[in-house]
């Protein structure tokens, strides 16, 4: 093998090595980008989980309040019926 052929082979190997190194560098950069995206998604997911828990708590409180209001409305309705029956009874005795 002549010096020229050896030099050409060395140049070709060096170029191949440079391309492989560039691909490796690009792969590392892509991995870094994907890891940052993954971390942002993790943060967003945790934020959504906390928000969901907060909303679930608020919903439970609102449902409990609605139940109390419904129970109160039912009690008021029952008392109104009792009062109307009492008034009717008094009026019927007065006649």
Q: How far apart are CA 16 and CA 52, in angstroms?
A: 53
The SS3 assignment for 32 reads helix
Q: What is the pLDDT of residues 23-82, one digit of tens each?
A: 999 999 999 999 999 999 999 999 999 999 999 999 999 999 999 999 999 999 999 999
Distance of alpha carbon 55 from alpha carbon 53, whole angstroms: 5
This model's pTM is above 0.75: no
94 against 80, higher pLDDT: 80
Q: pLDDT band for position 2 (50/70/90)?
A: confident
If you ran DSSP here, which 8-state letter would residue 95 be given?
-
């Amino acid at each position: 093998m002549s010096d020229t052929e050896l030099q050409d082979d060395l140049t070709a190997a060096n170029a191949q090595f440079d391309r492989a190194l560039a691909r490796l560098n690009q792969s590392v950069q892509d991995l870094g980008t994907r890891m940052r995206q993954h971390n942002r998604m993790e943060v967003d997911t945790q934020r959504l989980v906390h928000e969901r828990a907060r909303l679930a708590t608020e919903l439970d409180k609102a449902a409990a309040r609605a139940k109390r209001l419904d129970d109160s409305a039912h009690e008021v309705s029952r008392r109104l019926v009792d009062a109307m029956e009492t008034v009717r009874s008094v009026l019927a005795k007065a006649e």
